[in-house]
Every structure is written in C-alpha cells, then in structure tokens.
Amino acid sequence: MASRSRKQRHSEEKEEKTVTPKKQRLSDEKKEKTVSPKKLDSPTKLSPNSLFGMGNPLLDISAEVDKDFLDKYGLKPNDAILADEKHKALFEELVGNFKEEYHAGGATQNSIRLAQWMIQKPHKVGTFFGCIGRDKFGDILKQKAQEANVDAHYYEQDEEPTGTCAVCITGDKRSLVANLAAANCYNKDMHLDLEENWALVEKAKVYYIAGFFLTVSPESILKVAKHAAENNKVFCLNLAAPFISQFFKDCLMQVMPYVDVLFGNEAEAAAFGKAQDFETEDIEELARKTQALPKENKKRHRVVVFTQGKEGTIMAQSDKVETFPVLKIDPEDIVDTNGAGDAFVGGFLSQLVQEKTLERSVEAGHYSASVVIRRSGCTFPEKPDFH
C-alpha cells in the first residue's frame, strides 16, 4: 500500500467510489478507522500550555543528616512542615555543616517539570505560576524551568527572597522544612488576574495544584478550580501534607467540590480521614469515602489516588477501588525519596493531559517515581524510557 504512487492510489479511490455502494463504503471506512494500527498508536495531539500548575516555587537544599539533627529541630522522618523562627538555625547549619545540594523544588513545580519530561515534545506543554524574589536563587529557578522546557511565568517581587526548602535526608526517608518567603507573596490581583496570564489559564485543559498553596492564595485556587468546573476541564489537587488537612481544613473543603482528581499518600489520607471524622483507618475505605464527597461538576466522577510508598497505589473511581502494584526496586538502589510523590503525580499528569486511561496514568506515575528515587533530589535523565 505504502509503495504505490499517489496518482495510482487516487485512481483506485476514484474507482472504489464508482463501484462501491455508499452504505458499504461507510462501513469499510469505519472498519478501517477501528483497526488501523496507525490510528491506535497516534497520541492525542498536545499543544503548549495544555497543563497548568500553580504553587510555591522553592529551591531545595538537600543534605544527609542523622537522627540527632532531626530531634534537635523537632522533625519527623517523611514529614513536611513550614519553617518557623526556631528553624532559622537549621538552614544555617545545613549549609554550614553538611554537604548540601541545590535543586529546583516546590511540589507543584516538580510535578509540572516531571510531566513535561515524560511528554518531551512539544515543549512548554506545562505552564507554571508562582512567586519568587529578584535574587540569585530566583535566577536559578528561572534557569531550571527553562532547562526543563516548562513555560514558567513567575510573579517577581523585591520584598521577600526566593523561598527555600530544607530536605533533611535520613536513609531512604526525608523530612521537609519549607521557608516559603517569596512563595508566600503570590498575589492574585497582581498576577493571576492579568489578562495575558489568565489567557494561559484558559488555554489549559488539565490543572494541578498541591495543597501547600492553600496556605498562600486559596482565592487563586478557587478561581482556577471554578473555571475548570464551568468548562468541564480536569482540576487536580494534592493533599500535600498532614498539616494541610489538620490546620487548613476550611480552605481545603472550599476547594474540594471542584476536585476531579485528588492525590495523597497514606499519611495524608489518614490525616484527611481524621479531620473529616470518617472513623476508619483503612486506606481503601478512606479513598472510597473521599471519592463520594459532594462534587460541583457532575459530568465527571471524582478519582482519588493514594500512594503508599513501596506498597500498592490505591485508586477509587465511580463504584470501584483498585490497587496497583508499584515497580519493584532494590532498596540499595534508592538514593533519595524526596520528590517521589511529586514524580508520581508528574507521570500521572503526563498521560492524563494526553487523554490516556487512568490505569496508564498510574503506570506512568510509578515509572517516573522509580526514576527519581534512584537519583538525588527531584531530578531525572535526559529522556524517559516509558513504553
């Protein structure tokens, strides 16, 4: 078929038009459409700015520490907190006494970078909004976004320096202490509402925001979430950390009716269930009850995805709850679990924005998380090997 000339093909098509009854032609065309491998293999055509993320851009300062260091600053392994006055010395000690590394960070920004990496081309499928300072760390973040082919539009201001996050690594666990600084200064009126910026929001078809941003600009989240619901687009949220469900419950529950896909890990799921008085610690039941919460856009069923580290990932949708096994990894190959959750979401979003199945999205999430935990920080090789 491929070797025939264009003229010959045209002649044969013309001949077919002459001799084949219309009803049969339509049937043949439909059949060809269904079985053509080319049609099945071609991915949904993506355009720039299809995936939108908004959150706290932070520069990660990673270092391996010991249990005494965690105890000194009242930190728990595998936890995430906001820095207060007592943690000021922690940042100084981390930089002064340990071998530190710098990486572009912030939960949402990480996930958008990972999604773009999984997609590869076109570039700038992922858009990211957040606030940074006009300083050296801000310049590093701009450079990292550019290198990752993400279309970052930062709100830049002079009042606060670019935010940082101390990543305190003990074995295969990590404790995060975020000093939001500039990230805390995001301003809806001064950035999101600007005509050229809102136009980028309108271009997107999938939205993702980590719950950490509820501490900064819940009004910005609501504006984006309502836009998604009104236009039947997909709005995704992450529970982010146990303290969000505990101390920012009201803000979280204002946004929840607009959430089409909710992410979280087992600790976050447990904290959410406790805050909601679900009276269960069973993760499948927590997913089921969360999935059934009131929802604004009735055209879409909510999907709830709870990861459990090396245990299976739970997904609740409609009337079923499924468990998907993660990829097996030798514990000796694990370098750093920081960013594993962000990587999972990034992989998931890379398929969701291409309108692939939810099962395929989970697979991609598991793959990207397995890549990131073998490396230091939320980093990745030049190209993915995901088929």
Which active-site residues does the annotation give?
342
- Rounded to whole angstroms, the Cα distance separating 254 from 238 reads 14
Angle in degrees, CA 105, 127, 382, rounded to 5: 60
- Rounded to whole angstroms, the Cα distance separating 35 from 40 reads 8
Place of tokens 């993660």: 326
Q: Is 208 left (phi over 0), alpha (psi -120 to 50) or beta?
A: beta
Q: Dig out the tokens for 361 from the structure.
A: 């999205």
- Rounded to whole angstroms, the Cα distance separating 274 from 293 reads 15
- Rounded to whole angstroms, the Cα distance separating 286 from 323 reads 13
CB within 8 Å of 314: residues ≥ 6 apart? 283, 284, 287, 304, 305, 306, 307, 308, 321, 322, 323
Using a CB cutoff of 8 Å and minimum separation of 24, what contacts does 328-333 make?
A: 329/370, 329/373, 329/374, 331/172, 333/374
Residues 46/125, Cβ–Cβ less than 8 Å:
yes
